[in-house]
Amino acid sequence: MLKVEDLSAEVAGRPVVRGVSMEIPPGEVHALMGPNGSGKTSFALALMGHPRYRVTGRARLDGVELLSLPPHERVRAGLFLAFQHPVEVPGVTVYQFLRAAVAAARGREPGLREFYGELEERMRQLELDPSFARRGVNEGFSGGEKKRHEMVQMLLLRPRFAFLDEPDSGLDVDGLKAVARAVNSLRGPHFSCLIITHYPRILKEVPPDRVHVMVEGEIVRSGGPELARLIDEEGYEWLRG
């Protein structure tokens, strides 16, 4: 599914990701953990094609070379990113935004009735009222609403691979369970994801197949779900140095 080899990235000449290699097979959920400022978000942004990052190494999704593609072509290849801090898009409704996103990803404009029926179904899945579709994108949204909105987007786009950057940020217990249900509903041979998080809370609802720990831009430890439990008990200090 996703194979990354010796990936390094820098911003304004400052290294933020250092020689990371990672392979995430089809159908697997992996977690990327680490302290603040360790390079976890930079890893995802570099792979998505953020223009601030100068990237070297190799990255392939289902055999497609990613690093030579512009961001929108990486999305069409099957990548998706749920942002840590989703931005507001004034003047654009959730309905307009999601329909445009689906059209861009699928390469065709969905029919009005077809799309609205699918949108309503996905909003019910995330326990969002239908009136939510008429609101401006992320304008006045709570933290939980922003995360649920991104899960609706993911369910509509049906990516091959998703980066979920702190999907539990700002969520109460009910919101966490709703987001987890959305992720778990996609688990299968045609979907993989990397959950980026500081804490193991989300991993109790979306059990990972493998856990990686990043410190100062490098993967310093990989293991099974027990690694997340150990970090919950011991923190990250024992992995430094």
Q: DSSP labels for the chain?
A: -EEEEEEEEEETTEEEEEEEEEEE-TT-EEEEE--TTSSHHHHHHHHHT-TTEEEEEEEEETTEE-TTS-HHHHHHHTEEEE-SSPPPEEEEEHHHHHHHHHHHHHTSPPPHHHHHHHHHHHHHHTT--GGGGGSEETTT--HHHHHHHHHHHHHHH--SEEEEESTTTT--HHHHHHHHHHHHHH-BTTBEEEEEESSSHHHHHS--SEEEEEETTEEEEEE-THHHHHHHHH-SGGG--
pTM of the model: 0.92
Read off the pLDDT band of 241 (50, 70, 90): low
Provide the residue range defining the domain that includes 66: 2-239
Please give the tally of structural domains in the chain.
1
Task: Taking residues 210-218, report their average pLDDT.
Answer: 95
Task: Taking residues 150-167, report their average pLDDT.
Answer: 94
* CATH classification of the domain holding 225: 3.40.50.300
pLDDT 10s digits, 28-87: 999 999 988 899 999 999 999 999 999 999 999 999 999 999 998 999 999 999 998 888
Q: What is the pLDDT of residue 110?
A: 82
